[in-house]
Amino acid sequence: MKRRIPMSFVLFVLLVIYCFSCSAFYLPGLAPVSFCVEKDIPDCQTEIQLFVNRLDSVESVLPYEYDVFDFCKDQKEIRPSENLGQVLFGERIESSPYKFTFKQDKKCNKVCTKTYKKENKEDVSKLDFLKMGMQLNYQHHWIIDNMPVTWCYDVEDGQKYCNPGFPIGCLVTADGRAKDACVINSEFNKKNTYYVFNHVDIKITYHNGEKDAWRGARLVAATLEPKSIKQTDKDNPNCDSTTPMEVPGVFDSEVSIVYTYSVTFEENTSIKWASRWDYILVSMPHTNIQWFSIMNSLVIVLFLSGMVAMIMLRTLHKDIARYNQVDQEDLIKLPSTRNKSSVNYEDAQEESGWKQVHGDVFRPPRKGMLLSVFLGQGTQIFIMTFITLFLACLGFLSPANRGALMTCAVVLWVLLGTPAGYVSARLYKTFGGEKWKTNVLLTALLCPGIVFADFFLMNLILWVEGSSAAIPFGTLVAILALWFGISVPLTFIGAYFGFKKPAIEQPVRTNQIPRQIPEQSFFTKPIPGIIMGGILPFGCIFIQLFFILNSIWSHQMYYMFGFLFLVFIILLITCSEATILLCYFHLCAEDYHWWWRSFLTSGFTAVYLFIYAVHYFFSKLQIIGAASTILYFGYTMIMVLIFFLFTGTIGFFACFWFVNKIYSVVKVD
């Protein structure tokens, strides 16, 4: 009789094949391409293809594909294979009609002409959409040899900033105010007029390999300068003209836009192919400020963490030494003198009351199933984050490898269902739970279901708006297949081993009758303690958080994964120490309900994350429109939920270790 192959194993194999096949076309930074003037040379290309990516804007969350706008299109359109991360991020890469031959300069080469007539409704619609793109400052993103084509220009203090995108055009408002890129040219001065950047001067820099051990040349930089030029002769364009291409705000006559380009090649042997991204990253705004702020934040957090650790060690060591000394003196003294010792012992207990609740400290919490489910999911997210950041530090998930970061995170999350099920089942059994089926199902479905529901609603909005960020239906089905076909079975496997193991042994016995909790001061009450507990962890991440939000919503590159990993480690230490400190304080106040408080204390950092995201939205972003606002807060809620589970799990396990440690060291019988 033949054995049937499990469905989860088949899906796993398909997932691995899918990931490797999707990234086979693009492995940037790993496979350099050589270019030669002569044809028919093995492993050497003569044609340079320019690819276009989606267009985005800092004033709108909705990105659009290149084809949605009425630009020049490639007759034989080629779409490179995209990995899962690129699809989830909404990247849509396709070929363009801009094609070059290596070391062949071209001057004012015509690409196409777009004509719009007032009586044609389709032309009116296309031109209106193009105007909308210019009004909201939508930007092109072009790619040559898997390297962004940048627009470099001078900023304040004489520095140069290289933007990996350039605008469609710009607008001079009805009151004569020049918006965005219109400020760079004094010719853009007509009121209620749009200016289209219909010409680009492209410069491609290459490193010649004649003196090295490889043949041909490798591209090390690609820059451009957008221009707006009105062509009087469509067949013989003149790119030296200074008359800008105007599109009136009121469409009252025929409009013809001629798209042209010029390309030049420049040799530069000082730039190595391996460091060709450096000129972009070095020019990122506020780079020096970012380094200084991160170092300052790390010093402050390390200092505060050291203080917390010192207070905890000294205070706890003194308590343990006092209690053990009292117990030893009580054993060696005569019966006639033990009463005096007992008085000292009671005085010690009254001074610090954490030992008085030893019979209740391991009493199972209320809603233990929900807590165990949160901890299982938090463990899955923690391991996923740690491995992803570690790989990013090694350079495998650099900005050059498009979509690799998201692909790695999704694949790791899918494959880490086993530890989630194991942790949830083991803790639920320790809490005395018996509904193991409900526990496993909630662990596998609750938090991922909330994230998927939010993601699906956001995707509906993107579908309605026609955005390129909308995930295709087939990809959604594939994500569901990975979830139910791989993650859920692995969660069941982990839960099986978790329930098979005995419950976690507690160092002290639990009394049958719960002890009455005395009246608490303001600082030891649950809500004030939880609110205070999230301040210190948030303090060590808010600087990095600013640059992370910039990379997401302002479309800037994030590349400082080394510092991010260091901040991640410090966040672990800070969440652990802050939770342990507050847990010790409320145990001293004879409040033994520490299970949920330890989770919520560090988990409250996510609330500060949400407050900061709201502040960032109103103070830093220029997003307009109801759809963009809903999308911003919808995706922010996903981030907040993931961060809540992550930080809450860190605090819980730190406190769990601490409570087990002190009650196993101190003699309580």
Residue-wise pLDDT for 345-364, tens only, equals 444 444 456 777 777 788 88
Helical H segments across 66-203, by residue range = 84-89, 121-135
| pTM for the model | 0.84
Angle between helices 287-332 and 626-665 (to 10 degrees): 30
| Number of folded domains that form the chain | 3
Q: What is the pLDDT of residue 51?
A: 92
Average pLDDT of the segment spanning 255-271: 90
Model confidence band, residue 487 (pLDDT cutoffs 50, 70, 90)? very high
Q: What is the pLDDT of residue 422?
A: 95
- Last residue within a domain, chosen from 236, 256, 283: 283
User: What is the tens place of the pLDDT at every residue in 7-23?
Assistant: 443 343 334 333 333 33
Residue 230 lies in a domain: yes
Same-domain check for residues 253 and 118? yes
Q: What is the pLDDT of residue 158?
A: 67
**CA torsion through residues 14, 17, 23, 24, sign:** negative
> Residue 293 is which amino acid?
S
DSSP run (H or E) holding 266: strand 255-267
Question: Which string of DSSP letters, residue by residue, matches 338-394?
Answer: HHHHHHHHHHHHHH-GGGGGTTTTTPPPTTHHHHHHHHHHHHHHHHHHHHHHHHHHT
The answer to whether residue 341 scores a pLDDT higher than 50 is no
What are the b/e assignments for 332-353, b being 16+ CB within 10 Å?
eeeeeeeeebeeebeebeeebe
Average pLDDT of the segment spanning 452-465: 92
Residue 45 lies in a domain: no
The answer to whether residue 287 scores a pLDDT higher than 80 is no
Q: What is the pLDDT of residue 315?
A: 65
Q: What is the pLDDT of residue 427?
A: 93
> Residue 435 is which amino acid?
K
Same-domain check for residues 292 and 279? no
The answer to whether residue 635 scores a pLDDT higher than 90 is yes
Same-domain check for residues 389 and 328? no
Q: What is the pLDDT of residue 30?
A: 55
Residue written as token pair 């001067």: 201
Model confidence band, residue 216 (pLDDT cutoffs 50, 70, 90)? confident
- CA gap 221, 50 in Å, rounded: 13
Q: What is the pLDDT of residue 503?
A: 81
- CA gap 572, 293 in Å, rounded: 20
**CA torsion through residues 323, 329, 332, 337, sign:** negative
Same-domain check for residues 157 and 15? no
Same-domain check for residues 131 and 268? yes
Q: What pairs with residue 48 in β-bridges?
A: 100
Q: What is the pLDDT of residue 633?
A: 94
Q: What is the pLDDT of residue 120?
A: 87
User: What is the tens place of the pLDDT at every residue in 22-60?
Assistant: 333 333 345 788 888 877 677 788 899 999 998 999 888
Average pLDDT in the chain:
82
Same-domain check for residues 427 and 553? no
Nearest to 96 by CA among 259, 252, 213: 259
Out of 297-301, 409-413, 534-538, pick the least confident.
Answer: 297-301
The answer to whether residue 404 scores a pLDDT higher than 80 is yes
- Last residue within a domain, chosen from 470, 504, 538: 504
Q: Which two tokens stand for residue 163?
A: 């933007």
Average pLDDT of the segment spanning 373-394: 94
Report helix, strand or coil for 328: helix
Same-domain check for residues 601 and 644? yes
Same-domain check for residues 418 and 532? no
Residue 53 lies in a domain: no
Report helix, strand or coil for 75: coil
Phi-psi region of 570 (alpha: psi -120 to 50; beta: other; left: phi over 0): alpha
Model confidence band, residue 456 (pLDDT cutoffs 50, 70, 90)? very high
Average pLDDT of the segment spanning 207-231: 85
When computed from its CA atoms, the radius of gyration of the chain, rounded to whole angstroms, is 31
> Residue 515 is which amino acid?
R
Are the C-beta atoms of 262 and 189 separated by less than 8 Å?
no
Average pLDDT of the segment spanning 317-332: 63
User: What is the tens place of the pLDDT at every residue in 591-621?
Assistant: 888 899 999 999 999 999 999 999 999 988 8
**139-140 vs 166-167, strand pairing mode:** antiparallel
Average pLDDT of the segment spanning 647-664: 89
Nearest to 221 by CA among 282, 290, 297: 282
Average pLDDT of the segment spanning 234-238: 84
Residue 122 lies in a domain: yes
Residue 130 lies in a domain: yes
Same-domain check for residues 451 and 532? no
Q: Which two tokens stand for residue 83?
A: 């990995």
The answer to whether residue 642 scores a pLDDT higher than 90 is yes
- CA gap 62, 469 in Å, rounded: 7
Out of 16-20, 272-276, 480-484, pick the least confident.
Answer: 16-20
> Residue 241 is which amino acid?
S
Distances (CA, A) of 85 to 73, 112, 504, 633: 26, 33, 39, 21
Average pLDDT of the segment spanning 433-457: 92
- Last residue within a domain, chosen from 240, 260, 283: 283
Are the C-beta atoms of 228 and 195 separated by less than 8 Å?
yes
Same-domain check for residues 218 and 315? no
What 186-189 contacts at long range (C-beta under 8 Å, 24+ apart), as own/partner pairs, is 187/242, 187/243, 187/244, 188/228, 188/244
Residue written as token pair 């639990």: 510
The percentage of the chain sitting over the pLDDT mark of 90, rounded to a whole number, equals 33
Domain range spanning residue 646?
288-341+528-669
Same-domain check for residues 265 and 335? no
Residue 87 lies in a domain: no
Q: Which two tokens stand for residue 439?
A: 């526990």
Residue 434 lies in a domain: yes
The percentage of the chain sitting over the pLDDT mark of 70, rounded to a whole number, equals 86
Same-domain check for residues 134 and 230? yes
Of how many residues is the chain composed? 669
**199-208 vs 255-267, strand pairing mode:** parallel
The answer to whether residue 1 scores a pLDDT higher than 50 is no
- CA gap 372, 173 in Å, rounded: 57
Question: Which string of DSSP letters, residue by residue, matches 496-542?
Answer: HHHHHSPPPPPSSPPPSSPPPPPPPPGGGSHHHHHHHHTHHHHHTTH
User: What is the tens place of the pLDDT at every residue in 143-187?
Assistant: 998 889 999 887 766 677 788 889 999 998 888 888 888 888 878
Are the C-beta atoms of 139 and 168 separated by less than 8 Å?
yes
Nearest to 414 by CA among 484, 358, 351: 484
DSSP run (H or E) holding 605: helix 605-619
* Backbone dihedral angles phi then psi of residue 317, each to the nearest 5 degrees: -60, -40
Residue 197 lies in a domain: yes
Q: What is the pLDDT of residue 18?
A: 38
Helical H segments across 394-435, by residue range = 404-415, 417-430
